[in-house]
Amino acid sequence: MNDRIENFNSLRPAELAALDKAAGWSLNAAELAAAQRHFRKLGRPPTRGELETIAQTWSEHCKHKTFSGPVRFERNGKVKRYKNLFKETIVAATKTLNRPWCLSVFKDNAGVVEFGRGKKWGLAFKAETHNHPCALEPYGGAETGVGGVVRDILGVGLGAKPVLNTDFFCFGRQDSGMKLPPGALGARRIMEGVVEGVRDYGNRMGIPTAAGGVVFDDGYALNPLVFVGCAGLIPRDKIDKKVRPGDLIVAVGGRTGRDGIHGATFSSADIGEDSPSSAVQIGHAINEKKILDALLRARDKGLYSAVTDCGAGGFSSAIGELASDCGAVVDLEKAPLKDVSLEPWEIWVSESQERMVLSVPERNLPALRKIFAREECELAVLGRFNKSGRLLVRFMGEPVVDLRNDFLHGGVPNFEKRAVHKPVPVSSRPPAKPRRPLGRLLREILAHPNVRSRAPIVRQYDHEVQGGTVVKPFTGPAGYGPSDGAVIWPQSATRDLGDFSGFAAAHGICPSVGRIDPCQMALYACDEAMRNLLCCGADITKAAFLDNFCAASPADPKVLGDLVLAAEGCREAALGFGAPFISGKDSFYNQSADAKGKPYPIPLTLLISAVAPVDDVRSAVTTNFKRAGNPVYLAGVAWRGLGGSIYNELERSGNNALGVISIEESARLYRGLLPAFRAGLVMAAHDISDGGFAAAAAEMAFGGGLGADLCPETGYAQDGISQAELLFGESPSRLLIEVDRERELAFRSMVAGLPVERVGFVSAGHDLTLLDGAGRELLREDIAVLLECWSGEGI
């Protein structure tokens, strides 16, 4: 029963590696040696359960060894050393900013910031990835990804009520002719499955899904990225939790099965044909809804002192984490099972979905049982927390795991990793003139997969459930205008219909910029997320960021070098905007062998998710033009450079320079615009990103059902900028703003001294007309025709 690996302490490194591969632990040589030293010192061999526990606890997924480890970074012949990359970049920025409204950062399942009138609430926000499972089985992978991040919100503090799900995907191009290796799923198949999974789980749980996006790029053909997020509300006095020695260890929710074994360790390995099917599961949203309902009732009655979710690593991770500051004794035979043939170690590390673990004072158990029974939700007492500093796991009295906390949580060896920066050659020469007519070019840009309408995806989601989605994914009378983010009025959680406090959630992501400069990518992504919040009318002085990094193997110094630069970019952006990071996650080893057997890594990808309060949701702003005759302003400076743009995919401009970004200047601009938003002078606002000025103007027109006559040249721009850069360049920190014509003077005085200038007017016509500085027509396109292109109905 105790399943000891008798010869473990005498195995040579090659034999340890072979054992590791056979068992699927994904431990490296140093980690295997550290484990071997530990058990040699104890004078006994380890059990299978102990090595499984070590592999799970030390996995990249759970320990974030790359980000939290020492790095030697080489750039331009100079060396910079980090003891802990994450702490010295992203966490350092949050510490420096020291915002009093940050209530819980980097220590729980999600970050929590202050929310609402009277500061009675905390807003918890978390985004996760579920990339590896989605590559193998898109529907199940996406479903369980949503289930997992919702449980993170249920498991933050003493439990928050989810009020918003977010989704962001990176898929291979649907029109790609790329030859796939055996066993790999096609891009369309992956997309359909992922969307259906997100839809089915979120809709069934009664959580609105809004604030999302998609990037198509063949770099993701074999390794799709699936970012799922969740925001929830928690009473301020429920944010702190502490396991009390003597409390019972109580598991609630679904039964434990063989499904999901080695999910945590699997995500520390490359995906290949022999990837385990046991890492794939199908979620059960209704079971999770039962947990949600029961848990929040038990929370409000104060029946437990701590809670966490069973995610990667199952009981091993959940109980191991909760007991890390005290100790625990667990009797696995008490766990309700789906399959009685499970080995004890399998029960311990199984990642069966929809389970949570609670620390419950014994006197509260009867009341807790009653609440969970009412929801037909199973509950089992697995053991007790104690002060031993040990994790003792038994099955029918026989030890399965007996490990000291200091070794389990502090014994992982972390060696210095090498990171190098290899700059990409950049050409700043003036772009070649476009071969296509400008009108045709705009139509093609709007039809491009990375600009086109997301309606076929978004319309599958229930974004209205809970009745608090104020700014919806599409805006305007006909619902054609794409929103820059979602604004949520979480009255379903606060139950206060007199409090119109809400929050905006938005994203920023720029992998095409990352191919040129990873640091700029991070700056661009933070800037885009911040701009999107502002365009929703949010109070960006209280914005908070989440970081989600996805990369190929960090064992490649170039990959790690890019990661270092992106992390430094995050630090710079957070400090510049005064916006702390409150939580984050990373996912590595997003690479596979292609059809020829060559490694096929994803491009370094950073998703920035951002939240900020909207003091009164009734004054939230949308992107659609509102009234003919209103002036349209361009805020921000158009810089030269077409690097990373959609334009460059369609035209060979010969220029791959990135538009300049200064976070200080961007922050000054956005803070300067905020009073105009607060005063209600801004009728509509939209960020300029994919497709540039012309695409942003067209999208504002779609939503409003109105035309516009605009002259981008009258806005602020770098000297020598070309027409193509003005119309289609994607230099950051710019937004288009429609201003109430009756209060234009007030607007102008509010933005005096900022790079904000009128570029035209909303028109009652049905055309989008773009003019040059001399008033000559550059293009005139029927909005209905542009809308057809954007909707995917042909160019």
Partner 1 sequence: MVIEIKTKPKYAASEDAALLARMRAAGLPLKAASTARLYRIEAEWAAGDYKKAAAGLLADPLTDDWSVGGRRPPAGCWRAEVWLKNSVTDVIGESVSEAAAGFLGVEAPKVRFGHAFYFKGPAGPAAEKAAARALSNPLIHSFKVVKR
- Residues with active-site annotation: 61, 130
| Pick 186 or 765: Cβ nearer partner 1 | 186
Q: What tokens appear for 281 in the block?
A: 């599961």
How big is the site for partner 1, counted in residues (CB under 8 A)? Answer: 24
Q: Facing residues of 328 across strands?
A: 385, 391
Residues 6+ apart with CB under 8 A from 459: none
Of residues 283, 311, 439, 518, which one binds partner 1 by CB under 8 A?
A: 283
Pick between residue 186 and residue 245 the one whose CB is nearest to partner 1.
186
Pairwise CA distance, residues 438 & 479, whole Å:
27
Nearest CA to 470 among 685, 229, 213, 211?
211
Q: Is 678 a binder of partner 1 (CB under 8 A)?
A: no
CB of 39: closest distance to partner 1 in angstroms? 33
| Per-residue x/- track, 314-353, partner 1 (CB under 8 A) | ------------------------x--------------x
Other Cβ atoms closer than 10 A to 336: 14
List 76, 98, 277, 341, residue binding partner 1 (CB under 8 A)? 277
Instruction: Choose between 183 and 437: whose C-beta lies nearer to partner 1.
Output: 183
CA-to-CA dists, residue 165 to 66, 510, 518, 621, 780, angstroms: 28, 21, 28, 21, 39
Q: Are 384 and 329 in contact (CB under 8 A)?
A: yes
Of the residues 50, 128, 137, 767, which one makes contact with partner 1 according to CB under 8 A? 137
Min CB(295)–partner 1 separation in Å: 20
Considering the complex, state which of residue 35 and residue 185 has its C-beta at the smaller distance from partner 1: 185
Q: Which residues pair with 165 in a beta bridge?
A: 209, 230
* Residue corresponding to tokens 């059960």: 284
| Residue 788 within binding range of partner 1, rule CB under 8 A | no
- Angle subtended by helix axes 663-678 and 557-577, to nearest 10: 40
Candidate residues 45, 46, 49, 140; the one interacting with partner 1 per rule CB under 8 A:
140
Shortest distance (Å) from residue 327 CB to partner 1: 33
- DSSP state string for 127-164: EEE-HHHHHH-HHHHHHHHHHHHHHHHHTSTT--EEEE
Q: List the one residue out of 368, 391, 381 whose CA is nearest residue 334.
A: 381
Q: Rank residues 193 and 692 by Cβ distance to partner 1 and give the closer one.
A: 193
Q: Least distance (Å) from partner 1 to the CB of residue 354?
A: 10
Q: Least Å distance between CB 787 and partner 1?
A: 21
Q: Smallest distance, Å, CB 308 to partner 1? A: 22
Q: Which stretch binds partner 1 (CB under 8 A): 101-109, 274-282, 533-541, 559-567?
A: 274-282
Structure tokens at 426: 């950049």
Closest CA to 181 of 559, 604, 591, 556: 591
Asked if 232 and 153 count as a contact pair (C-beta separation under 8 A), the reply is yes
Q: Considering the rule CB under 8 A, would residue 312 count as an interface residue with partner 1?
A: no
**Least distance (Å) between residue 18 CB and partner 1:** 25
Of the pair 188, 626, the CB lying nearest partner 1 is at 188
Interface pick for partner 1 out of 70, 183, 389, 675 (rule CB under 8 A): 183
The half-sphere exposure of 352 on its side-chain side, counting CA atoms within 13 A, is 23
Nearer to partner 1, 268 or 278 (CB): 278
Alpha helices in 401-472 (DSSP H): 405-410, 438-447, 455-458
Identify the residue among 112, 164, 185, 194 touching partner 1 (CB under 8 A): 185
Q: Which residue has the tokens 């002036």?
A: 631
* Smallest separation, CB 273 to partner 1 (Å): 11
Region from 82-90, 133-141, 499-507, 651-659 binding partner 1, contact rule CB under 8 A: 133-141
Tokens of 258: 């063989």
d(CA 715, CA 773): 10
558 binds partner 1 (CB under 8 A): no
Which of 26, 267, 281, 655 binds partner 1 (CB under 8 A)? It is: 281
186 binds partner 1 (CB under 8 A): yes
**The tokens of 211 are what?**
């604030």
In this structure, the number of other CB atoms found within 10 A of the CB of residue 174 comes to 13
Q: Is position 455 an interface residue for partner 1 (rule: CB under 8 A)?
A: no
Give the H/E segment covering residue 297.
helix 285-300
What is the per-residue binding string for partner 1 in 346-375, x denoting contact by CB under 8 A? -------x----------------------
Structure tokens at 703: 């939503």
- How far, in Å, CA of 738 to CA of 627, rounded? 9
Contact residues for 320 (Cβ-Cβ < 8 A; gap 6+): 53, 56, 57, 313, 391, 408, 409
Counting contacts by CB under 8 A, is residue 282 touching partner 1? yes
Which residue in the set 1, 29, 79, 286 belongs to the binding site for partner 1 (CB under 8 A)? 286
Tell me the window of 46-54, 136-144, 626-634, 727-735 that interacts with partner 1 (CB under 8 A): 136-144
With CB under 8 A as the contact rule, the residue among 16, 113, 136, 298 that binds partner 1 is 136
Under the criterion CB under 8 A, does residue 280 sit at the interface with partner 1?
yes
263 vs 644 by CB, closer to partner 1: 263
H or E segment and range at residue 209 = strand 209-216
Q: Pick one of 52, 167, 259, 331: the residue that binds partner 1 (CB under 8 A).
A: 259
Nearer to partner 1, 31 or 137 (CB): 137
Burial class (CB in 10 A: 0-12, 13-18, 19+), 556: middle
Nearer to partner 1, 279 or 778 (CB): 279
Of 114, 192, 496, 788, the one binding partner 1 by CB under 8 A: 192
Among 257, 502, 518, 554, binds partner 1 (CB under 8 A): 257
In the complex with partner 1, which residue's Cβ is closer, 259 or 462?
A: 259
Min separation Cβ 413 and partner 1, Å? 34
Interface residue with partner 1 among 258, 472, 743, 766 (CB under 8 A) is 258
Q: Which of 443, 436, 441, 438 is nearest to 785 (CA)?
A: 443
- The least CB distance from residue 252 to partner 1, in Å, is 18
Q: How far is the CB of 186 from partner 1 (least distance, A)?
A: 7
Identified binder of partner 1 from the candidate list 241, 262, 284, 390, rule CB under 8 A: 284
Question: Distances from the Cα of 780 to the Cαs of 349, 447, 668, in angstroms?
Answer: 62, 17, 34
Radius of gyration for the chain, computed over Cα atoms and rounded to the nearest angstrom: 27
Minimal distance, residue 175 CB to partner 1, in Å: 10
| Beta carbon nearer to partner 1, 137 or 562 | 137
Which alpha helices (DSSP H) does 469-598 contain, by range?
491-494, 511-514, 518-535, 557-577
Give the C-alpha separation, 180 to 391, whole Å. Answer: 45
Residue 647, classified by CB atoms within 10 Å of its CB into exposed (0-12), middle (13-18) or buried (19+), is buried
- Positions touching partner 1 (CB under 8 A) are 136-138, 140, 183, 185-186, 188-189, 192-193, 257-259, 277-278, 280-284, 286, 338, 353
